[in-house]
């Protein structure tokens, strides 16, 4: 055990040692990931969860990769091009880009750390499970704030953003935490309950689509699976109004009308944007004297870095998704879970502005790339 009991000794450069280490509970990875769901806690104006993710990336700088693994060249190209484009857009538009670009740099670091096996995925998943269960439980007893009475908030802050964190990080927690179904069930129950209590329509759809993918969609081939994932995402933005406002959601017409006004103003902003966008951190609009964040992350990324930035982010997600196609079809539940997390991210991005360049997206991509480093099921070739 001497080789795996310090923060910088996991994982080793040998696959055999790395496989053994992945079965251990890694305290640093567990604790730092457990902080991630604490969205509203800040230190000097900086979110605590972002500090935790930055600390994890820095820690991984002194850890060896799993079996000497490297990120796929295309992933490096996509991340490098995204950072360069956002930097160029910030400088050219003369906006305050440092904080936003720093955030994206941390996301790139997480993809690198997770995707090269420097983080124990099991420990990280258990940390996510503990963090999500904790914030859900605290919210139920009124600790962490109650910004939307009747909907789960607490340290998650906003019910829709909270649903995003629960849906994407929750599916990773359930499918990567353990191989035993009883443990997975114990993790899934509070996470599903929290997602329901957020009372977010898109969050519920993201969770439902994740379940559909794990139970059936993953059994399709690469082309069929990608087509199904695209259809699921398309459905979210094309549900008839009479279904969107059905039953318990019938009182959302006012908020939906505001959302439509915000999106209309987003289109105005995008109509005059140069090819490189209006710069990092500019995905905000003014509606009747009030400032709102973009309510569509696809449009938000275009606002910050143009169409090219959006294509780079979507290319990164698609690459991570397709890399696990053979494994998930062959019965690798963790691989299917990583794919489901990518689908959930794409779904949530339709109604939330901060999704495609937010931490759960990078965690989902990193888990997918990291899973591809593990031994494949018998008879299944590596991606």
pLDDT tens digits along 327-368: 888 889 999 999 999 999 999 998 888 899 999 999 999 999
Note the pLDDT of residue 240: 47
Residue 380 belongs to some domain of the structure: no
Total of domains in the chain: 1
Round to whole Å and give the CA distance between 121 and 118: 9
- Phi, then psi, of 42 in degrees rounded to 5: -135, 155
Question: What mean pLDDT comes out for the span 266-282?
Answer: 90
Note the pLDDT of residue 171: 97
Separation of CA 305 from chain center = 19
Round to whole Å and give the CA distance between 349 and 144: 25
Residue 10 belongs to some domain of the structure: yes
Residue 139 belongs to some domain of the structure: yes
Q: pLDDT by residue (tens digit) across 225-269?
A: 667 767 766 666 665 444 444 444 445 544 667 777 787 788 888
Q: How many CA atoms lie within 13 A of 198 on its CB side?
A: 29
Contact in structure between 356 and 344 (CB atoms under 8 Å):
no
Question: Could you give the residue ranges of the DSSP H alpha helices within the chain?
Answer: 15-22, 27-35, 48-60, 73-93, 98-115, 121-140, 159-176, 181-198, 201-215, 222-236, 241-244, 253-271, 297-323, 325-329, 333-348, 359-371
Query: Which range among 83-87, 302-306, 324-328 shows the weakest confidence by mean pLDDT?
Result: 324-328
CA triple 282-284-286, angle to 5 deg: 130
State the residue range of the domain holding 273. Answer: 2-371
Residue 362 belongs to some domain of the structure: yes
- Whether this prediction's pTM lies above 0.75 is answered by yes
Note the pLDDT of residue 286: 79
Angle formed by the axes of helices 359-371 and 121-140, nearest 10°: 150
Residue 382 belongs to some domain of the structure: no
Question: What mean pLDDT comes out for the span 40-65?
Answer: 93
């Amino acid at each position: 055990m001497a080789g795996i009991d310090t923060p910088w000794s996991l994982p080793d450069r040998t696959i055999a040692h790395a496989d053994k280490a992945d079965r251990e509970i890694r305290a640093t990875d567990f604790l730092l990931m457990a902080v991630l769901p604490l969205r509203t806690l800040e230190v000097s104006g900086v979110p605590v969860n972002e500090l935790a993710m930055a600390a994890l990336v820095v820690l991984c700088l002194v850890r060896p990769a799993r079996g000497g693994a490297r990120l796929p060249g295309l992933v490096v190209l996509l991340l490098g091009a995204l950072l360069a484009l956002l930097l160029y857009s910030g400088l050219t538009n003369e906006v305050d880009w440092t904080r936003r670009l720093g955030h994206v740099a941390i996301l790139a670091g997480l993809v690198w750390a997770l995707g090269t096996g420097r983080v124990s995925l099991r420990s990280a998943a258990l940390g996510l499970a503990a963090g999500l269960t904790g914030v859900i439980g605290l919210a139920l007893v009124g600790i962490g704030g109650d910004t939307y009475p009747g909907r789960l908030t607490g340290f998650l802050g906003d019910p829709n953003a909270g649903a995003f964190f629960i849906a994407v990080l929750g599916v990773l927690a359930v499918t990567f935490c353990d191989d035993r179904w009883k443990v997975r069930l114990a993790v899934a129950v509070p996470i599903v309950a929290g997602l329901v209590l957020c009372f977010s329509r898109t969050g519920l759809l993201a969770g439902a689509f994740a379940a559909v993918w794990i139970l059936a969609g993953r059994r399709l081939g690469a082309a069929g699976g990608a087509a199904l994932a695209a259809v699921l995402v398309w459905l979210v933005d094309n549900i008839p109004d009479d279904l969107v406002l059905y039953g318990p959601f019938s009182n959302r017409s006012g908020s939906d009308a505001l959302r439509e006004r915000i999106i209309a103003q987003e289109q105005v902003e995008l109509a005059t944007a140069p090819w490189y966008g209006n710069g990092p951190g500019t995905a905000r609009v003014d509606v009747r004297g009030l400032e709102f964040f973009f309510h569509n992350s696809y449009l938000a990324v275009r606002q910050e870095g143009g169409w090219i930035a959006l294509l780079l982010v979507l290319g990164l997600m698609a690459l991570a998704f397709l890399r696990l196609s053979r494994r998930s079809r062959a019965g690798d539940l963790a691989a299917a879970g990583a794919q489901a997390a990518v689908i959930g991210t794409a779904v949530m991005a339709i109604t939330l502005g901060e999704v495609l360049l937010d931490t759960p997206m990078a965690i989902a991509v990193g888990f997918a790339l990291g899973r591809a480093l593990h031994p494949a099921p018998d008879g299944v070739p590596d991606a």
